[in-house]
Amino acid sequence: MKRQLEICADSLEAVLAAEEGGADRLELCRDLQVEGLTPGADFLAEARQHTGLPLFTLIRSRAGDFRYGPAELGRMEGEVQTALDGGADGLVVGALGDDAMPDRAGLERLLELGQGRPFTFHRAFDQVADPERALEHLIELGFARVLTSGQAPTALNGMERLRSLVQQAGTRIEILVGGGVRAENLERLRRGTGAREFHSSVGGKSAITPVAVARLVELLR
């Protein structure tokens, strides 16, 4: 399997730059200053019109922690349906219970609504109490990948745990390495983790250019 690059995009300009630079997949979101929220349906429609890249839509209705009550989970269910209606190829979700482990009941409902689309469990994973056991739960639930920095502020800081998670995952689920992934550290992360998939905002919205994305692609290949 070839290594893949996912770009986090919060504007059409970022979408177009990622495609021109050779990215493999896009995560669509808004409000990156709070680590991303669910994008509007109009942004998904605009992106769908302008790119053939796989589009994964972040489902996160508010900033803050990842413990959601029934009303908030209901809102997320509506956002999943809106994303599917808009042509999303996959969804990016995360929810934790009071035990700081994946909220199985809430996640099962979101996965059911997904109608077989691939799901990524986002960086709520970096707050779970037991990452090894949580990874097994997500495999059982049917997630395609987990976006994580290895429970550290950046992927470089979490490289040892990332390597362990990649080994535990095997071919059952992908570990999508994220958290400060840049051209200056990508080769080290690739060699140090053994991961096949990497997630980057290429240094922030202003830095998402075709040249910057192409450099990441070159380093992965």
CATH code (residue 204): 3.20.20.380
Number of domains the chain is built from = 1
Q: Are strands 55-58 and 90-93 parallel, antiparallel or unpaired?
A: parallel
Residue 14 structural domain: 4-220
Burial (CB count <10 Å: 0-12, 13-18, 19+), residue 100: middle
Task: Give me the torsion for CA of 47, 84, 75, 103, rounded to 10°.
Answer: -110
Burial (CB count <10 Å: 0-12, 13-18, 19+), residue 193: buried
Q: What is the DSSP secondary-structure string of 8-36?
A: EESSHHHHHHHHHHT-SEEEE-B-GGGT-
3-state secondary structure of 95: coil
The pLDDT averaged over each successive group of 10 residues in the chain (221 residues) is: 93 96 97 92 96 98 95 96 96 97 97 96 97 98 98 97 98 97 96 97 75 96 87
- pTM of the full structure: 0.95
pLDDT of residue 204: 55
pLDDT of residue 33: 86
